[in-house]
Structure 1
């Protein structure tokens, strides 16, 4: 197993990030979850990574996608499911994944112990290598989130974060084509890194004066 993913060998999968779940999970705040999933969608755009978004119909309990996510996606297609917790149980989703030609999947979803867990396990069973982006996923309680993560890791799923994924894709600041996108991403979604960048800019400004 290769421990690092690249933009050339992976696809990003977003599962059920709908407003109907926002009232249910407590393992993370809504703001944290929105921040993480929007960051992942932006990562797919910055690095040209295939992006598969799946959810239920807007009139289902999941509801429409987070408005912030929908704004980033624009007219990007959403693979609608009829209710399967393991998205691989539905042909349209399986076809969409196969069409990417990628065997390494970077997944996030709601709820962690529901559709993310079952879809990740389904992917492993079908021979895919899976990363679960845990700060773009959430669960009813912290305990159930952690239990689902434990079950996934026991099956071979690798836990990660959106920033780890972005850093693996970027590799180095020397990759100038995507460096500005990476900088904007981190500055917009990680306040601590944004402050660090501002501090460094301040130091350089005073050093030059």
Structure 2
């Protein structure tokens, strides 16, 4: 059964970056490593550009999962940082849930590693808790397309919306007239083809 179109609202959304850790990133095989890192940082840039509340969390970072990738910590030095001592599902950590509630937002953008566990578990939990949940598919990674697709299906059946970081940016921005150079520059910084487009635009605008 089709559901009504619920679109992202920059005034009512928070971003949850779940377990983008140095050790876990080595498990990602459904994306090229450089492409995946670019996608993660693109989502982070979108969160920064639209000034979205952002929460960072790690799982058992003193173990093999490793520390959070440094770029995220540097981009969000004031963001809540929840180093979970052992909970696999971030939603099982009281501090994490409290940080989510403290944002006052009802829409959640979630990305992380790995897709079927670190992303799917809190996404499903958040849906159950009454949030509108959007998973950023290309800023989330896992072992292979089979496990990824199974996770996507499980989440979508529960009401999670699946989006790319590019779609997230477009839906938040809504109208090019809001900031052509700023938003276009963000896209160009992560998409070489869009960089060409912006260069062409700049030449025509002279």
TM-score (norm 2): 0.91
Q: Tell me which of 121, 124, 147 is aligned to 1:121.
A: 124
Conserved 8 A contact 1:26-1:140: yes
Conserved 8 A contact 1:15-1:110: yes
User: Which residue is equivalent to 1:198?
Assistant: 199
Q: Deviations over 1:15-71 (max 9, x none)?
A: 000110122121112212211221122212211111111113542222112233333
* Alpha-carbon distance in 2 for matches of 1:92, 1:18: 19
Conserved 8 A contact 1:13-1:105: yes
- In structure 1, the gaps of 5 or more residues are none
User: Which residue is equivalent to 1:185?
Assistant: 186
* Alpha-carbon distance in 2 for matches of 1:200, 1:7: 26
Residues 1:75 and 1:60: Cα distance change in structure 2 (over 3 Å): farther
Q: Deviations over 1:105-154 (max 9, x none)?
A: 01101000111011101111111110000010001111111110011001
User: Segments of 4+ in structure 1 off by > 6 A?
Assistant: none
Residue 141 in structure 1 maps to residue 141 in structure 2 = no
Conserved 8 A contact 1:54-1:78: yes
Q: Tell me which of 88, 91, 109 is aligned to 1:88.
A: 91
- In structure 2, the gaps of 5 or more residues are none
Secondary structure, counterpart of 2:6 in structure 1: coil
How does 1:1-209 map onto structure 2 within 5 Å? 1-176=4-179, 179-202=180-203, 204=204
Conserved 8 A contact 2:185-2:198: no
Q: CA RMSD in A?
A: 1.7
Secondary structure, counterpart of 1:74 in structure 2: coil
* Alpha-carbon distance in 1 for matches of 2:185, 2:197: 13
Residues 1:58 and 1:75: Cα distance change in structure 2 (over 3 Å): farther
* Alpha-carbon distance in 1 for matches of 2:122, 2:88: 7
Conserved 8 A contact 2:112-2:118: yes
